[in-house]
């Protein structure tokens, strides 16, 4: 590992984390604007730039999580380390709920019946709870049993989560997330509510880039920066290739042009088990999906299915490809910041005080959005973005200059 890492800071990770935080701010601010290209908005059917940010941040969280847990384990032992991790994870959930609310509520005391309370809790746990901080906190608790284990155990856990993601989607989770009939909703409740970012079972998907981050830390700890960067570029390319290859199954859901439009449902009847019989008679080029960052045909032409690189589930294709993308991008930061001396102050400031930056940006974004309506022209959208980023940075920089960092 580089000398900066041995002294307590890994500059490439500070820069990469700051980049993901800044990227999150950009897509959060611009996502609702009509003038902004869909590449900078979250999508449910393909991998956009906006969709790359959260898995990259989860990757960065996994990297830092592994580092901090190993240090804490050596200092205070396993029981205290686990207790701290659980409390920290739950604290992140609490902060998230206090920031974003419950997503639902009661308009009168008469609604607070046993059935009403059950439905409220069911919706909260299924969908409304899962903002980014809550996802991070609970995902860290989920992978706690393996966070200090050897790389082979964590690699097997990652592969197991990839398989579980597909199996659970087939058994019930696709319907669960999309508010369609399924066995789990019969007992859970909130049957018609749709979830985002995978809802309650999405943690299994978000754990994949986080565990990849823990493995990346091991490589950085054992190898010089140039070798680490080469390793990450190679594995990043492999994972992106695997993710794209499986996403090509989505072409099997192309709609028969002879079928009447009224009978073409948006969601496929068998979204996880692809109709392999449709391969017969098709050319290889027709079986290749659109590349990442390129929107697929509309649902009238291709039914929505699990194999799309969708963030809503998130699907196996999304988590695998986005993890590879995060590895490749981080490799560039290693070359720039650890091998070279490129340091962007904005990224450094946001990367070292990510939690407080996230808390501050939410308030600033809400305020600036009041003068940048959704139908604003592109120029005014970008002006609002610069104003929003500038004010957020001023607050976070003010704290950094006084060595005030907020961490859990």
Phi, psi (deg, nearest 5) at residue 272: -100, -40
Contact (CB, 8 A) for 332 and 13: no
Q: Does the pLDDT at position 4 exceed 50? A: no
CA distance 38 to 257: 26
Please give the full DSSP string across 151-198, using - where no structure is assigned.
HHHHHHHHHHHHHHHHHHIIIIIHHHHTT---HHHHHH--TT---STT
What is the reported pLDDT for 104? 87
What is the reported pLDDT for 262? 54
CA distance 334 to 355: 23
CA distance 245 to 252: 13
Residue 268 forms part of a structural domain: yes
Residue 407 forms part of a structural domain: no
Instruction: Report the percentage of the chain scoring pLDDT > 90.
Output: 91
CA distance 354 to 20: 10
Average pLDDT, the chain: 94
pLDDT, tens only, 113-138: 999 999 999 999 999 999 999 999 99
Confidence of residue 142 (pLDDT cuts 50, 70, 90): very high
Contact (CB, 8 A) for 212 and 228: no
Q: What is the mean pLDDT of residues 63-91?
A: 96
HSE toward the beta carbon, residue 160, CA cutoff 13 A: 9
User: Where on the phi/psi map is residue 296: left (φ > 0), alpha (ψ -120 to 50), or beta?
Assistant: beta
Q: Does the pLDDT at position 2 exceed 60? A: no
Total count of domains within the chain: 1
The parent domain of residue 324 ranges over 3-401
| Residue of 44, 40, 43, 20 lying closest to 31 (CA atoms) | 40
Q: Does the pLDDT at position 258 exceed 70? A: no
Residue 225 forms part of a structural domain: yes
Q: Does the pLDDT at position 6 exceed 60? A: no
Strand-pairing partners, residue 86, are none
What is the reported pLDDT for 407? 77
pLDDT, tens only, 20-61: 999 999 999 999 999 999 999 998 899 999 999 999 999 999
What is the reported pLDDT for 161? 98
Residue 166 forms part of a structural domain: yes
Residue 408 forms part of a structural domain: no
pLDDT, tens only, 271-311: 999 999 999 989 999 999 999 999 999 998 999 999 999 99
CA distance 350 to 19: 8
CA distance 128 to 104: 8
What is the reported pLDDT for 3? 38
Dihedral sign for Cα atoms in the order 393, 395, 400, 402 = positive
Please list the helix, strand and coil fractions of the chain in percent, rounded to the nearest 5, in that order: 70, 0, 30
Residue 196 forms part of a structural domain: yes
Residue 246 forms part of a structural domain: yes
Residue for token pair 């009661």: 106
Would you give the end-to-end CA distance of the chain in angstroms? Answer: 26
pTM of the model: 0.94
Residue 406 forms part of a structural domain: no
Contact (CB, 8 A) for 57 and 132: yes
**Tally of CB atoms within 10 A around 38:** 13
């Amino acid at each position: 590992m580089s000398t900066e890492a041995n002294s307590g800071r890994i500059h490439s990770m500070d820069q990469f984390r700051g980049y993901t935080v800044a990227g999150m701010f950009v897509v959060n601010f611009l996502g609702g604007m009509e003038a902004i290209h869909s590449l900078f908005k979250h999508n449910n059917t393909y991998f956009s730039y906006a969709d790359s940010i959260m898995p990259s941040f989860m990757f960065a969280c996994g990297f830092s999580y592994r580092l901090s847990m190993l240090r804490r384990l050596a200092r205070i032992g396993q029981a205290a380390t686990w207790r701290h991790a659980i409390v920290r994870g739950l604290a992140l959930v609490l902060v998230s709920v206090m920031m974003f609310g419950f997503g639902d509520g009661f308009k009168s005391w008469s609604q607070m019946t046993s059935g009403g309370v059950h439905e409220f809790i069911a919706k909260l746990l299924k969908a409304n709870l899962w903002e980014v901080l809550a996802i991070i906190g609970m995902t860290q608790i989920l992978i706690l049993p393996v966070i200090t284990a050897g790389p082979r155990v964590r690699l097997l856990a990652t592969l197991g989560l990839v398989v579980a993601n597909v199996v659970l989607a087939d058994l019930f989770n696709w319907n669960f997330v999309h508010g369609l009939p399924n066995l789990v909703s019969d007992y859970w409740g909130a049957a018609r509510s749709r979830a985002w970012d995978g809802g309650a079972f999405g943690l299994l998907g978000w754990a994949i880039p986080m565990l990849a981050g823990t493995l990346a830390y091991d490589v950085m700890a054992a190898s010089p920066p140039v070798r680490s960067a080469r390793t990450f570029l190679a594995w990043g390319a492999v994972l992106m290739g695997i993710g794209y290859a499986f996403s090509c199954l989505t072409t099997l859901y192309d709609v028969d042009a002879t079928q009447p439009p009224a009978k073409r449902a948006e969601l496929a009847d068998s979204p996880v088990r692809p109709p392999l019989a449709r391969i017969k008679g098709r050319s290889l080029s027709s079986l290749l999906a659109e590349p990442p960052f390129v929107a697929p045909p509309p649902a009238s032409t291709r039914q929505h299915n699990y194999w799309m690189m969708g963030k809503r589930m998130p699907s196996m294709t999304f988590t695998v490809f986005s993890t590879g993308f995060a590895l490749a991008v981080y490799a560039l930061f290693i070359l720039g910041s650890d091998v070279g001396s490129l340091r962007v102050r904005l990224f450094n400031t946001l990367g070292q005080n990510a939690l407080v930056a996230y808390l501050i940006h939410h308030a600033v974004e809400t305020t600036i959005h009041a003068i940048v309506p959704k139908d604003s022209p592109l120029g005014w959208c970008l002006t609002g973005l610069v104003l929003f980023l500038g004010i957020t940075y001023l607050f976070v920089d003010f704290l950094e200059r006084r060595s005030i960092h907020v961490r859990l």
